[in-house]
Amino acid sequence: MNCREARQYINLFLDSELDSKTNLEISEHLSSCEECNTRFAQEERLEKSLVSVLKEDKVPKAEVTWEGVISRFSHQVEWEEEKHLSFRPFLWRYLVPATATVIGLVIMLIMYSRQDTNALAAAAQKCHIEYMTDKIAPSLESMFPDEVSGYLSDKFTFPVTVSEISDIKFHHIKLFGGKVCHLNGVSVAYVMYHCCNAPVSVFILNAKDVENFSDMKRYIAGDRILFKNQNGITFVAVPTKQNTFVCVVADHDVELLRWVADNFAKI
Amino acid sequence: MTKSNKKRDTFIELLIPHKNTLYKVCKNLIWNSNDIEDALQTTVLSAYKSFDKFEEGSNFKAWMIKILINTVFNFNKKYTRQSMFEMFHEGVLDTGKAYYNEHDNSDMFEILERENVYHEILKDPLKLMERLDKNIKDSLLRLNTAERTVFLLKAITDHSYKEIANILEIPVGTVMSHLYRARAKLRESLCDYAREAGLFRNKEV
């Protein structure tokens, strides 16, 4: 390598940017050429003093500026994190209760659907409450069993016999009337009684129709069915000899309901 | 909370050793010195925002400088319609010399070679440097943006050509040619200054 070639690479050599082969060749030339060696050293020194003026550039404002920059940065980051965190109370305040409500609704829905809207007990109890709260009235008001029997028998394909119910333990059970009603789309004979100022409902339905009610399917094998809802309204169902079912619903003790039901079953 | 605090502390810890370098680069490259603090603030925040993308163990300094340079050029953009790409490629595209070629550019140093003052400066740079502080800045202003940026990055940050090329997103050859021209022009300025100041006069032929 001659002087001219070596000097072409002076910048790259001093910046240590040469490949090892060229680097070695230049080093070899510099060790043999006094003139180039001096020149390289001088150039390096000049570059270094130029750079040192920039590098040692006293920057008195740098410290103060950075202090301000970093403290403002810290605040900014903290503030942004708070903003981020404030989203969490929002989460707890709104999102979680909302989710809980949705879950609650779903659970209620499941419970409700499991409660069987198709159940005869529930439908009969509902109808009884309507009677109790005067929402429905008998289409035939009569105190005489024969009259009610005659009225209802005309409307059904199955025999409806309304019996006189004798007193039980000084409770007088008084016939009030009858009407046709529909429980979950099934036509039933609805006979209304009164006992001690509390209504007693008796539903007579065809044994064939009983299969339409989910709860009755389960109890069809047994002869007596008893339910009690949370309001204390009791439901009793018994089959009769006339191939019908009698359901008694009342806010009374079970013994009275059984007595009423048995009066129908006897016929 | 503690996790993000840790992230912030790690970030500041990495940042502290490069405070002065960043400040100098910013100060020397920004056109309006009133923008220095704003530019640093913006740089720090945008770096922190993409700190998750920073790969641990890679060059934090180069990464910060890159963000700083972009921020500084965005600040400078307020005063010009020239884009960063134009700044770094304009001269190169104009002359058609996209890559550094020692033979094509050697004329600049050959001119210097013929100047006696330059040889005097080389022999005794301190004589000139002692009185130069402010003058170097003036000389730097005579460089175009690309040359000044590359020269300052080399001088202040000590990055390699490749790192500078990555920071500025230009080819390594372009870094070389900008640096070459910057150095030659600075030396010419030194000669001019020495002549005007009457240094080395007695020795000049």
Q: Please tell me the predicted confidence (pLDDT) of residue B97.
A: 44
A50/B186 Cβ within 8 A: yes
Q: Please tell me the predicted confidence (pLDDT) of residue B164.
A: 92
Among all residues of chain B, which has the CA nearest to that of A44? B122
The residues that bridge with B5 in the sheet, in sequence order, are none
Residue B7, pLDDT > 80, answer yes
Cβ atoms < 10 Å from Cβ of A129 = 18
Helix intervals (H) in chain A = 3-8, 10-14, 20-32, 34-55, 60-90, 96-114, 120-132, 145-153, 214-219, 254-266
* pTM score: 0.55
Q: Which of A16, A17, A70 sits opposite B12 (nearest CB)?
A: A70
A196 at the B interface (CB within 8 A)? no
Residue from B25, B171, B162, B15 nearest B85 by CA = B171
ipTM score here? 0.77
Summarize the confidence of residues A22-49 as an average pLDDT. 89
A51 at the B interface (CB within 8 A)? yes
Size of interface A-B (CB pairs under 8 A): 93
A66/B40 Cβ within 8 A: yes
B136 at the A interface (CB within 8 A)? yes
Residue A100 vs residues A94, A104, A169: alpha-carbon distances, Å: 10, 6, 51
The tokens describing B82, both together, are 């020239």
Among all residues of chain B, which has the CA nearest to that of A40? B122
A42/B37 Cβ within 8 A: no
Summarize the confidence of residues A3-29 as an average pLDDT. 88
Lowest mean pLDDT among A230-234, B45-49, B119-123: A230-234
B160/A43 Cβ within 8 A: no
A68 at the B interface (CB within 8 A)? yes
Kindly state the percentage of chain A with pLDDT values over 70.
88
Residue from A227, A223, A213, A211 nearest A265 by CA = A223
* Residues 6+ away with beta carbon under 8 Å from B37: A65, A68, A69
Q: Please tell me the predicted confidence (pLDDT) of residue B161.
A: 92
pLDDT tens-digit readout, A94-137: 788 888 999 999 988 887 666 555 678 888 888 888 888 888 88
Query: Tokens 């134009």, residue?
Result: B86
Cβ atoms < 10 Å from Cβ of B119 = 16
Q: How far is A31 from chain B (nearest CA, A)?
A: 20
Residues on chain B touching A67 (C-beta within 8 angstroms): none
A59 at the B interface (CB within 8 A)? yes
Calpha distance A125→A213 (Å, rounded): 14
pLDDT tens-digit readout, B144-168: 888 888 998 998 888 899 999 988 8
Residues 40-99 of B with CB under 8 A from A: 40-41, 44-45, 48
B152/A11 Cβ within 8 A: no
The tokens describing B42, both together, are 């913006």
Residue B42, pLDDT > 80, answer yes
Summarize the confidence of residues A220-228 as an average pLDDT. 61
Among all residues of chain A, which has the CA nearest to that of B13? A70
Among all residues of chain B, which has the CA nearest to that of A60? B20
Calpha distance A192→A179 (Å, rounded): 8
Confidence of residue B68 (pLDDT cuts 50, 70, 90): very high
Handedness of CA B109, B113, B115, B120 (dihedral sign): positive
Residue A195 sits at φ, ψ, to 5 deg, of -150, 120
